[in-house]
Amino acid sequence: MDMLGSRTIEIVAALLGLVNVALVVRRSIWNYPFGLLMVALYAWVFFGEKLYSDALLQVYFFAIQLYGWWHWRHRQDHRGLVLVARLSSPAVAGWLTGGLVGIAVWGTLMHSFTDAAYPFWDGSVAVLSVIAQYLQSRRYLESWYFWIVVDVLAISLFVVKGLVPTAVLYGIFLALCLLGLRSWRRAAGGGAAA
């Protein structure tokens, strides 16, 4: 990457990401300002690395962060913590099926029409992230399972591309996902699936 200051931007984006996810784990609505700044910076970094799926993903993340901020604001308990919802088994199966179809279609498009580095690998991270972020903005516990898969795929992709601060960030994200899953499971209790 030959962009001036790109490593510094990547590091700042990674730090913002840590704060963002740590606040999501805590079910705090204040994760959103940090998330908005993070995705804006990462759009620039990923575009420079020809990870077009990830660059476009940041545009989606920006919009869904705004939606999530609004949605979480209206779904809080008396302490200001977001209420956790659950998906039904058929809904989970539908999201998984949609994810596989989305990966096949998006990876094929990136392979056919761009010079994307690792179009299917990058596309998998992008498609599954879209699903995970949407489910998280709707407060679904199952979003954490999608994030865990995303993080495992992303860590190795970013190592291969030499985006070491971002790979480290995703390693920390993976640990935070495990904490988030545990925390949100407790918060969900025995709630009914939607």
Residue 33 lies in a domain: yes
Per-residue pLDDT, 6: 64
Residue 191 lies in a domain: no
Domain count, the chain: 1
166 in Cβ contact with 184 (< 8 Å)? no
**pTM of this prediction?**
0.83
- Can you name the residues that pair with 140 across neighbouring β-strands? 85
Residue 29 lies in a domain: yes
Mean pLDDT, residues 148-175 taken together: 91
Residue 131 lies in a domain: yes
Tell me: the pLDDT tens digits for 100-115? 999 999 999 999 998 8
Q: Among 53-57, 103-107, 125-129, 184-188, where is mean pLDDT lowest? A: 53-57
User: How high is the mean pLDDT of the chain?
Assistant: 89
Residue 51 lies in a domain: yes
- 158 vs 122: CA distance, rounded Å: 10
Residue 194 lies in a domain: no
Residue 1 lies in a domain: no
Q: In the chain, count of helices (H) and strands (E)?
A: 7, 0
> What's the half-sphere exposure (Cβ side, CA atoms, 13 Å) at 182?
6
Range of the domain at 111: 6-186
**Judging by beta carbons within 10 Å of its beta carbon (0-12, 13-18, 19+), is residue 91 exposed, middle or buried?**
middle
194 DSSP assignment:
-
Q: Is 80 exceeded by the pLDDT of residue 191?
A: no
Q: Is 60 exceeded by the pLDDT of residue 149?
A: yes
Q: Is 50 exceeded by the pLDDT of residue 119?
A: yes
Residue 139 lies in a domain: yes
